[in-house]
Structure 1
């Protein structure tokens, strides 16, 4: 809809026209914040993944992928990996990691949506998986605290 004409003599009368240019709007549930935080990740094939794996930290040897969380929202994040991987990451694989500072007892799980080479690093776009309401609240609190710290600095 668009306003075609509005009469000033009689308040409240507006002629509307129908627009043929209709576009879908994407509305974010939460804001995306730049983090630049280092983290270790454990790679799991999608077929082998179970939600119970989030509660098991496992040995440090299992977390072999070193990455930097570039930005994050309540729904996902972008990760930069500079190390050479033996096997390239594939869409649909799961990465487990612990987000320090988020007061979470469990690891977080994220599914690989896209991998984009950029110079000497690999940008990985991830969507969080199997997050319950409590995990989502704690993640939103973490992002809010981080944003307040950035504004104060």
Structure 2
């Protein structure tokens, strides 16, 4: 990510923060439309609380992009926690797609081509780091690798 992309991610997140409840709702609605197989992972979740946690995590990530010593441990912890929820490497792609869609829908004309590219770069780097932290370079958990 370039420094300008990091700035765009922070600025656009700050713009969407006042409507974070709606943005989270848009995200999960879109995620369940494009990847219905992930919906059961949330069967026991209070979706309002889940949306709040997701937006808080995005806030922390968006404002830590310039601080790898903060961001990398956050990504590792999130990744390892999500393995316990049943998240698989193939789930990361539709999550990214739903995130970009929700931001674009929520921000409207303020989500221009450069901002979209910045979020795509941020999510791509984050998801790559999370998959590697959770599943290793081959995309398998320790249990699967031993089989």
TM range (shorter): under 0.3
More strand by share: 1
State the structure with more CA Rg.
Answer: 1
TM-score norm. by structure 2 comes to 0.26
Higher RCO (CA < 8 A, seq sep 6+) = 2
More helix by share: 2
